[in-house]
Amino acid sequence: MAFGPDFRTYRGAPAAASAAVIDAGLRAYMLRVFNWMASGLLLTGIVAYGIANTGAIDVLYPQVQSAQGFLVHRPSGLAYLLMFAPLIFVMVLSFGVNKLSRQAAQTIFWIFAAVMGASLTNIFLVFTQTSIVSVFFICAATFAATSAWGYVTKRDLTGMGSFMIMGLFGIVIASLVNMFLHSAPLQLGISIIGVLVFTGLTAYDTQRIKTDYIQYGYANDSEMAAKRSVYDALALYLNFINLFMMMMQIMGNRNNN
């Protein structure tokens, strides 16, 4: 669906000047998208770290006595609610991009990032903080390199993107099955495949964002551009979070307590 007139051609404007306008607008738009994504990740990290280092984490994951007599953290009902709550925000943003106002889309994104931070608090119970920081920087470097490749490559990544989306469905199904099996080898396999899938989706989404900007020309509609930048930031944000979580399963050092 086109959100505005195709601006690849301007009547009476030289092709070179038109291309320069597109390039400048594209760079500004991509910068806006990545700023939204980075801001969302920062808020998520602050919320997760803040909850993990206060008594609030005991509300989400209270300590109970296991069958072996050890004290372990178990998720409360609120923790389960927070685990699934981000899905609601994703659906609202995805299906409401043409209906929501700019302010509404931005507000929902901020709330989503905060709720996601609360839902990720448990990683501080499972993994050491040192390994969390280390894996974060590895993930950031991988994400940046893959996104840069997706931006500059001349290869059409549409086919790869479709394949990665099918792989994503496979990961979801396998993860649901493993909730009952509790198989460590299966979880490792899911994580390895997940790294490949979300790395591929990062490149695909970056190219898609670039292509959509050029094709649909919503740069001429500041309201739509603002909303689309939030939606596109959400896509990259989710790729980063999922890539990070998959890498944590592979490389993270677990707490001994």
DSSP states along 42-63: HHHHHHHHHHHTSTHHHHHS-E
Distances (CA, A) of 122 to 58, 85, 168, 240: 10, 15, 23, 18
Judge whether 149 and 85 are in contact, CB under 8 Å: no
Residue 105 lies in a domain: yes
Residue 1 lies in a domain: no
257 residues of the chain, pLDDT tens digit each: 333 444 344 344 455 555 666 688 899 999 999 999 999 999 999 999 999 999 899 999 998 887 777 888 889 999 999 998 998 999 888 888 778 999 999 999 999 999 999 999 999 999 999 999 999 999 999 999 999 999 999 999 999 999 999 999 999 999 999 999 999 999 999 999 999 999 999 999 999 999 999 887 665 678 888 889 999 999 999 999 999 999 999 999 999 76
What is the rounded CA–CA span in Å between residue 248 and residue 136?
Answer: 8
Q: How many domains does the chain have?
A: 1
Residue 256 lies in a domain: no
What angle (nearest 5°) sits at the alpha carbon of residue 29, between those of residues 118 and 114?
10
What angle separates helix 15-52 from helix 222-251, to the nearest 10 degrees? 50
| Domain assignment of residue 45, given as a range | 15-251
Q: What is the pTM of this model?
A: 0.89
